[in-house]
Amino acid sequence: MTNPIAIFLGVFILGALVIDVMMFGTEHLIFLGKKFFELIEWIAFWR
């Protein structure tokens, strides 16, 4: 992955999070954070 692609992805994800918080509040981020940590634990199980 090149630096411009990584920067674009980072800005895109950050922008999506900002839009989500502005429109719907922080409840979605808490839910997604919990699911993300569950995914990390599940992936670590297969390692």
Provide the domain count of the chain.
1
Q: 26 lies in which domain range?
A: 3-46
How confident is the model over 17-47, as pLDDT tens digits? 899 889 888 888 888 889 989 999 988 877 6
Higher confidence at residue 1 or residue 36?
Answer: 36
**Helix 27-46, helix 3-24: angle, nearest 10:** 140
**Checking phi first, is residue 2 left (phi over 0); if not, alpha (psi -120 to 50) or beta?**
beta
The pTM (predicted TM-score) of the whole model is 0.62
CB 4 within 8 A of CB 12: no
Mark out the alpha helices in 1-47 (DSSP H runs). 3-24, 27-46
